[in-house]
Amino acid sequence: MNAQRFLAIARKEWIHVLRDWRSLFLTVAIPMVLILLFGYALNMDLRNVPTVVWDQSRTSQSRDLLELFDGSPYFSINTCYDSYDGIQSALDSGAAMIALVIPHDFATRIEASQPVKIQVIADGSDANTARLALAYAQGIGLMYSGSVRAQRIRLLTGRDLKVPVELVPRAWYNPDLRSENVIIPGILAMVMMVIAAMMTSVTVAKEWESGTMEQLISTPIRVPEIVLGKVVPYFVIGMFDVAAAVWLGQWLFNVPLRGSTGLVFAMAALFLTGALFFGLMISITMKKQVLANQIALIAGFLPTMILSGFVFAIDNMPPLIQCITYLVPARYFITLLRGIYLKGISLQILWINAVLLGVYAALMVFLAHRRMKLKLE
């Protein structure tokens, strides 16, 4: 490979990038928008679930229970009703997701040391949120039962209740259980796939459409010089987007980076290389810009979004889909990022994911080179 010819192709591609300032702006702006949208909108934490109540007891005991619900960060009591009709209307209209029905003999049964049941009605149209809300409601119910039991023992014995075994939960690596700490590292994979889909997937197709590829072929330039020269400008832009994403994640969302920053950029460079050559291979194959861009989005962006573990847990997927996820390189990249970001671990543990990313990058480079060679023959 001749360095002079390679640099000439890279310079030519830089001129095209800088001349098309709208596309250049989008390659920088869209990743920033993705970070803001996913960081703020895609929040998996359960907070302030709208709740309605039918308190048939209307006693101090029922008010104590409702104060536990309303005082927690998970529930927000909006309205009190005096019939099931009001509860059903609130659930049907979406004004509430959870309804609490406290029976009229609530205080009487508690004072008589008898079990009492509280009805919790959930809107199951959003199954995951409803499941979480019911689990939190059950936890608050157990908390109230424990306080009632402790108060009764204190009145009977004059001593506080001592629990023989006390469970103290502790979350490692993400002690506040913030969903942003899990989402933001995964956005880096989305950012790089967007760059590959928008830019490299049309770079060669544009040459075919404009007729300049024939002029390029007539020169002494070789296939490796074309392929590598066209990727270099987009690699620089992609690494700039990675740096901006890392900075925004720490500045806006306070996402900790406990591991090596250099290791993050090294793994990002490896994944970006594979993504760029993947887009370039599509651009070489499809001689139409629109078609190449659409295929790159479908084949790159969507699997990264759905099958990489970025949003949906892979362990919850059907066995066949779990097997398919092994073909998605973003799965290994996101595992690397979360391990480096949250756990501060190195390649000593995550080396297999790095090796598979390297295999993916090498395979894409080979296929893009091979495809370009076949096209020019």
Task: Give start and end residues of each alpha helix (H) in 20-100.
Answer: 21-41, 60-71, 84-93
- Residue 126 contacts residue 96 (beta carbons within 8 Å): no
Query: Which of helix, strand or coil describes residue 170?
Result: coil
Q: Give burial (CB, 10 Å; 0-12/13-18/19+) of 68.
A: middle
Q: Inform me whether the pLDDT recorded for 362 exceeds 80.
A: yes
Distant-in-sequence, close-in-space partners of 228: CB < 8 Å, separation ≥ 6: 1, 6, 9, 10
For 276, the enclosing helix (H) or strand (E) is helix 261-285
- The mean pLDDT of 44-50, rounded to a whole number, is 80
Q: In one letter, which amino acid is 309?
A: G
- Mean per-residue pLDDT over the chain, rounded: 82
- Residue 294 contacts residue 303 (beta carbons within 8 Å): no
Pairing of strands 75-80, 49-55: parallel
Q: Give burial (CB, 10 Å; 0-12/13-18/19+) of 338.
A: buried
Q: Inform me whether the pLDDT recorded for 242 exceeds 80.
A: yes
- The mean pLDDT of 31-57, rounded to a whole number, is 81
- Residue 240 contacts residue 188 (beta carbons within 8 Å): no
Q: Would you state the pLDDT for residue 99?
A: 92
- Residue (of 375, 374, 305, 302) closest to 334 by Cα position: 305
- Kindly give the interhelix angle for 223-253 and 3-19, rounded to the nearest 10 degrees: 50
Q: Would you state the pLDDT for residue 162?
A: 67
- The mean pLDDT of 242-248, rounded to a whole number, is 85
- Cα(112)–Cα(106) distance, integer angstroms: 10
Range 49-157 classified under CATH 3.40.1710.10: yes
Q: Inform me whether the pLDDT recorded for 252 exceeds 70.
A: yes
pLDDT tens sequence across 179-221:
778 888 888 888 778 777 677 777 766 766 666 666 666 666 7
Would you give the DSSP letter of residue 77? E
Highest mean pLDDT out of 37-41, 119-123, 184-188: 119-123
Q: How confident is the model at residue 54 (pLDDT cuts 50, 70, 90)?
A: very high
**Entry pTM:** 0.78
Q: Would you state the pLDDT for residue 217?
A: 65
Q: Would you state the pLDDT for residue 355?
A: 93
Q: Inform me whether the pLDDT recorded for 69 exceeds 70.
A: yes
> Hey, which residues does 79 pair with through a beta bridge?
52
Tokens of 258: 């406990």
Q: Inform me whether the pLDDT recorded for 4 exceeds 80.
A: no
Tokens of 373: 């060679």
Domain residue spans of the chain:
10-42+178-376, 49-157
Query: Which of helix, strand or coil describes residue 40?
Result: helix
- Residue (of 147, 163, 148) closest to 114 by Cα position: 148
If one counts every other C-beta atom within 10 angstroms of the C-beta of residue 263, the result is 18
CA angle 104, 108, 110 (to 5 degrees): 110
> Hey, which residues does 99 pair with through a beta bridge?
52, 121
Q: Inform me whether the pLDDT recorded for 337 exceeds 80.
A: yes
pLDDT tens sequence across 218-236:
666 777 777 788 788 888 8
